[in-house]
Amino acid sequence: MEKFITHIQPPNRFSLGLKELWQYRELFYFFTWRDIKVKYKQTYLGILWALLQPLGMMVLFTLLFSKTWKIDTGTIAYPIFVLSGLILWNLFSSSVSHAGESMIQHANIIKKIYFPRLIVPGSAILVALFDFMMGLIIFFVFCFIYKQPMHWYSVFYFAAGILIILLAGFGAGTFLAALNVKYRDFRYTIPFLLQVLFFSSQVIYPLYSVQQTWLKYLLAINPVNAAIELFRATLSNQAIDTTTISIGLTSTVIIFAVGLYYFRKTEAYFADLA
Amino acid sequence: MKPAIEIRNLGKEYTLKSGQSYVALRDVITNSFRNIFTGSKSDQKFFALKDINLDVMPGERIGIVGHNGAGKSTLLKIISRITPPTTGEAIIRGRVGSLLEVGTGFHPELTGRENIYLNGSILGLKKTEINKQLEAIIDFSGVEKFIDTPLKHYSSGMQLRIAFSVAAHLEPEILLIDEVLAVGDMEFQKKCLGKMEEVSKSHGRTILFVSHNLAAVKQLCTKGFLLENGENKLYSDINSVLQTYSSSYLQKVNRTAIGSYDLGQHPNKIKLGSGLLSAKMYINNILSEEFIPGNDFKITAGYYLAAPLVDPEVGIVIKDENYNPVIGLNNKHLGKKLQLKVNEPGEVTILIPAFNIYMPGKYFVDLYLGDQVHYFECLYDAFTFTVLPHDVFNSGEELRPEWNKIFISNMDIS
């Protein structure tokens, strides 16, 4: 019994609370399980829905930018090029928007029960990751169809790209989640922010085709660019732009740290505000 | 032995936001600009809890009583770590399970069984613990037949049964309960209360219990903790706390004469000097507080409004002595628009002719006025009256109260 001593005090110093998160790992699992289960129970097409969305976009962009306005993507076929960008972008955008909305959606639970609040945006991101895995399968199917050459070490580049997206998505998502609790009108800016980020990401065009160097490195602040750069690195003979990746990595670390810090700092008062 | 709960000088301060439930970024920006030019005005602050000290030994069951807004729920929220204190500290020895509302986190698309897992894990149970208890939980709930149907097909009563069952099977050393028994059918409530009593007595569990159902508090708790305006008035055995609470209640309602109440100082008042100011209760047009079933029941509420209300709503909620609501009515139910006077005293009359409330006992009446958007005042327990036992059918036999909460004046059996 002596193991469970809780000391309740006014919040003062900052901590990550990793130990507590570990104690609550089952709740993490249950929230994620619930969202995935409900999501695929509610939609008629089930899992198919997660696949149709990136596929539809891929067909549209391929028709527009590989047939009508030709975008040069080097040795990599345009459908593969755009699909790789789309699935990564979808992971980022659903991480940010779902994590950003998550605290408000769970306001009822937050006001009634204590648990480490990070679980809520965290599980929103795991749900997005689940959808991404479906998209990734489709991506490999198309790689096979288009006879896309791959190396065994491509796996590490894929993983690095996904990790950047997850870190940046988690940072931005938790930051927005905390802001949303405090300022309820902030959520209206999220779709606009995401749209700006989409067109600044190298989803439908390669970043190296941007002529002005200053613009290219400005766009590189968007972490999605570095993630896509790494993800596509082994798929074509185009050399990796290390500057883009360094800028992207720096901003990823900053976004992650700021988001996590702001969330942890304000989470004690969520129940009073929500 | 060390206390299970040790609270020292605990306080909680809230900032009062006028008229708004949440902050909008645009308001923050416009206000900060305005404040630069007009000089900043600070938000109103108040202490929901002040200087609370409490020691609870393992196995003690404490009933926390007090008027609405006395700080009961805030205290439980701090102990369960939902919200942090502003001052002081608390040391909790043992695992805490809090039951501040039943059915938290239920999802309509998931089945009863899946919801038991979800709800249980939100309440702090491990998966292995739920596995072990699953059969007992399902049995207790009495909805075995539908356990694999999505919750959206359940009646609200069935949902509550599942929720209560999970709650009743929590096994932390310290259990915090807030008003969870205010809903659900009476029979099942009793079953839950019995279950909690059983586990707390046999396992020496510590319980903090907040409820308006004073009968339940009395049944479950050994000691009482009386809160008044965020401060502790009395910490003693449950009977003397309940007595002090009832007598403080009569002082609070401010009765000026039989059937007449001054509401100007009511603790739930939003703004002194406006809103609901007085109430009178007439029984057959005579000021009275003792009601014989079947007579005319009339309430007149005096008010003063400084600004007009859009589509105003006036109503009452009548509750029995266990604080279970019996009747709620307002002018919107009647589809009736009220014209309220502005800047001069006015009066609203609520009339129930031949009121068929039967169940003998004491009743409390909440009175509310507002338009939900700009202004809404609800004065809890604004006044009380007593229903006397009466032979309504002149049959020489009074009705049995357990079967007759109301009576039917014109019926036929042939």
Residue range B360-391, pLDDT digits in tens: 888 888 888 887 666 678 787 788 888 988 88
Note whether residue A67 is domain-resident: yes
Say how far apart CA B232 and CA B226 lie, in whole Å.
Answer: 6
- The amino acid sitting at B107 is H
Find the CB nearest B173 among A1, A37, A111. Answer: A1
* Band (B187; pLDDT cuts 50, 70, 90): low
Note whether residue A229 is domain-resident: yes
pLDDT at A171 over 90: yes
Dump the DSSP string for B226-246: EEETTEEEEEEEHHHHHHHHH
Task: Please give the residue that has the higher pLDDT: either A135 or A4.
Answer: A135
Determine how β-strand B376-387 pairs with β-strand B290-291.
Answer: parallel
The arithmetic mean of pLDDT across residues B168-181, rounded, is: 77
Find the CB nearest B77 among A115, A182, A271. Answer: A271
Q: Which residues contact B250 (CB under 8 A, 6 or more apart)?
A: none
Dump the DSSP string for B69-125: TSSHHHHHHHHTTSS--SEEEEEEES-EEEESSTTTT--TTSBHHHHHHHHHHHTT-
Chain A residues whose CB is inside 8 A of the B25 CB are 183, 185-186
Counting residues of chain A whose pLDDT is more than 90, the rounded percentage is 44
Note whether residue A153 is domain-resident: yes
Say how far apart CA B80 and CA B177 lie, in whole Å.
Answer: 10
State residue B362's pLDDT score: 83
Q: Are B63 and B224 in contact (CB under 8 A)?
A: yes
Instruction: List the domain range (segments joined by +) for residue A239.
Output: 43-273
Is B107 within 8 Å of A34 when comparing Cβ atoms?
A: yes
Helix (H) or strand (E) holding B176: strand B174-178
Chain B residues whose CB is inside 8 A of the A110 CB are 82
pLDDT tens per residue, range B301-334? 999 998 888 888 899 989 887 667 789 899 988 8
Look-up of token digits 């050399």: A239
Interface ipTM > 0.90:
no
Note whether residue A38 is domain-resident: no
Look-up of token digits 């645009």: B26
- The amino acid sitting at B304 is Y
State residue B20's pLDDT score: 52
State residue A226's pLDDT score: 93
**Collapsing DSSP states into helix, strand and coil, what is residue B185?**
coil
Q: Which domains does chain B have, with CATH numbers?
A: 5-248 (3.40.50.300), 256-387 (2.70.50.60)
State residue B322's pLDDT score: 65
> Can you list the positions of beta strands (E) in B309-394?
313-319, 325-330, 346-352, 361-370, 376-387
Note whether residue A21 is domain-resident: no
Q: Are B340 and B308 in contact (CB under 8 A)?
A: yes
Note whether residue A28 is domain-resident: no
Least confident of A34-48, A130-144, B13-27, B273-287: B13-27
Among candidates B175, B167, B178, which has minimal Cα distance to B73?
A: B178
> For residue A155, how many other CB atoms are within 10 A of its CB?
11
Note whether residue A34 is domain-resident: no
Say how far apart CA A270 and CA A109 lie, in whole Å.
Answer: 11
Average pLDDT, chain B: 82
Q: Are B300 and B279 in contact (CB under 8 A)?
A: yes
Find the CB nearest A27 among B80, B93, B121. Answer: B121
- Count of domains in chain A? 1
Task: Please give the residue that has the higher pLDDT: either B37 or B132.
Answer: B132
pLDDT tens per residue, range A97-120? 999 999 988 888 888 888 889 999
The arithmetic mean of pLDDT across residues A165-186, rounded, is: 91
Task: Please return the burial class of B258, using the count of CB atoms within 10 Å of its CB with bins 0-12, 13-18 and 19+.
Answer: exposed
- Does the beta carbon of B126 lie under 8 angstroms from any beta carbon of chain A? yes
* Torsion sign (Cα): B133, B138, B139, B144: negative
State residue B19's pLDDT score: 46
* Band (B224; pLDDT cuts 50, 70, 90): very high
- Does the beta carbon of B57 lie under 8 angstroms from any beta carbon of chain A? no
Note whether residue A3 is domain-resident: no
State residue A1's pLDDT score: 44
- Does the beta carbon of B11 lie under 8 angstroms from any beta carbon of chain A? no
Q: Which residues contact A168 (CB under 8 A, 6 or more apart)?
A: A92, A223, A224, A227, A251, A252, A255, A256
Among candidates B299, B358, B361, which has minimal Cα distance to B330?
A: B299
Average pLDDT, chain A: 88
